[in-house]
Amino acid sequence: MFIAIDARMLLPQMTGVGRYLSGLAQGLASILYEDNDAEQVEFWLQAGLPPEHSIWQLQSPRMKMCAIAARHMSLRQQWVVPIEARRRKPALYHCPHFDLPVLTPGKIVVTIHDLKYLAHPQFFARKAHARRLLMRLMMGAAVQRARLVITDAEFTRRDLAQRLNVPMNKTRSIPLGVEARYQPQIPSQAIQEMRQRYHLAENYLLFIGERRPHKNIPGLLRAFAIFQKMSQQPYQLVIAGKKYAQYDEPERLAQALGLEGSVRFLDYVADEHLPALYGDAKVLALLSLYEGFGLPILEAMACGTPVVAANRTALPEVCGQAGLLVEPQEAQQAALALLEAAEGEPRQEWIEKGLAWAKRFTWEACARQTLEVYREALRA
């Protein structure tokens, strides 16, 4: 059985959907090697993806890679993808995003990672009303066209049912996984090289993610300002993620709070440095107001770093009982949790809980469940 997975969102600099596709590919590779009856899979990559990208190393007789000359969310994809689908004739096409080309033929599975544009349109003011309406129409059309819809979390399944009236029996929740490279024993040389490259202090708290309004970085900055006054030693707050166009509130607030010298904004961290960045941090903080999953939580836990996260949307589901959950807009409460995770007596307990919890999430498990969804959709 030939399955096509649209992986054009795999880019040289990893995005959230790119990490999903990369992890799914790794998991599928291990399954296809061990299962003689498994399906044939083809990943459709964006033309021009550099040959050094890790995805190319997974190519095998059972899992092939091919280039598609049309970017994600482009007008060109509306005819290029359907033409490729008719030419290659996959039994099933998996679109990992809501921008399903309208005329794509055959049986389809779609992954919807979150509904942030619908849930919090006020956080995306630079997207004109007409564009937001178009995105809603695209998402609605994609889930209606799909045989089955995959989400990363049960929260998003419920959100789809509430906001787009998608029947629960049409959706399947499949948690994301943690790559094996995220582990607690990070070589000291790797940590030292990472610190020097990004000019990091010995003690730092970490946020990872694009600097978008729904990530609530201003709330984290306010909590960090209080945390600094409580702590007995100096800390740096490292905010690692690309700046969101026309949104500079985090930078302005850091200055207003007098934090310029203790907040480090990193626009990009090389993928190979992420395990050291996680492993060296005292705490990972993710106080988002909306998340469809929150993969940095599990990656940090796998590296032995305690987590403080918001008690909103999918984050409690991802944290389980292994992270400290707080009201994201209560700076005092968040600061106390950061202090407990960084310096408190329960710190080691939070580390051990996180390590045990993160082991439950693997890309192989994600791939096996995804393959079962493919098979179910093909039977439908």
At 369, list the tokens. Answer: 């469940």
pLDDT at residue 136, rounded to an integer:
85
The answer on pLDDT for 117 being more than 90 is: no
Contact predicate 30/68, CB 8 Å: no
Superfamily of domain 2-177+362-379: Glycogen Phosphorylase B; (3.40.50.2000)
Confidence of residue 125 (pLDDT cuts 50, 70, 90): low
Tell me the residue length of the chain.
Answer: 380
Give the residue among 171, 168, 176 at the shortest CA–CA distance from 152.
176
Phi, psi of 116 (to 5 degrees): -60, -35
pLDDT in tens, 253-298: 999 999 989 999 998 898 899 999 999 999 999 999 999 999 999 9
Measuring CA to CA, how many Å separate 245 from each of 125, 127, 262? 11, 11, 23
Confidence of residue 230 (pLDDT cuts 50, 70, 90): very high
> Rounded distance, CA 133 to CA 13, Å?
28
Mean pLDDT of all residues in 66-87: 92
pLDDT in tens, 2-61: 999 999 999 877 778 999 999 999 999 988 876 556 678 999 999 989 988 889 999 888
pLDDT at residue 132, rounded to an integer:
73
The answer on pLDDT for 127 being more than 60 is: no
Domain with CATH 3.40.50.2000 in the chain: 2-177+362-379, 188-358
pLDDT at residue 154, rounded to an integer:
97
Count of C-beta atoms within a 10 Å radius of residue 315: 26
pLDDT in tens, 80-112: 999 999 999 999 999 999 999 999 999 999 999
More confident position, 75 or 353: 353
- The fold of the 188-358 domain, in CATH, is Rossmann fold (3.40.50)
